[in-house]
Copies of this chain bind each other. A is one copy, B any other.
Amino acid sequence: MKNEKAVVVFSGGQDSTTCLFWALKNFREVATVTFDYGQRHSEEIECARQIADELGVSFKVLDMKLINQLSANALTRDDIEVKEVEGELPSTFVPGRNHLFLSFAAVYADAIGARHLITGVSETDFSGYPDCRDNFIKSLNVTLNLAMDGRFVIHTPLMWLDKSEVWALSDELGAFDFVQNKTLTCYNGIPSTGCGECPACVLRNDGLATYLSQKSAGVSE
Which A residues contact B (CB, under 8 angstroms)? 31, 58, 60, 62-66, 69-72, 75, 79, 81-82, 84, 94-100, 103-104, 106-108, 110-113, 130-131, 133, 135-136, 139-140, 142-144, 146-149
Residue of B nearest to A142 (CB): B139
Residue of B nearest to A107 (CB): B96
Top-5 shortest CB links A-B: A99-B147, A136-B146, A131-B147, A139-B143, A96-B107
Beyond the given A63-B69, A65-B66, A143-B143, could you list 5 further A-B residue pairs with CB under 8 A, ordered by the A residue number? A70-B111, A84-B113, A95-B110, A95-B148, A96-B107
Copies in the complex: 2
Q: B143 near A99 (CB under 8 angstroms)?
A: yes
Q: A104 near B112 (CB under 8 angstroms)?
A: no
A136 to B103, CA, bound (A): 14
Residue of B nearest to A102 (CB): B147
Which residues from chain B contact A146 at a C-beta distance below 8 Å?
130-131, 133, 135-136, 139-140
Which residues from chain B contact A113 at a C-beta distance below 8 Å?
82, 84
Known contacts A96-B147, A103-B96; A111/B130 CB under 8 A: no
Which residues from chain B contact A31 at a C-beta distance below 8 Å?
81
Known contacts A69-B62, A130-B146, A148-B131; A100/B96 CB under 8 A: no
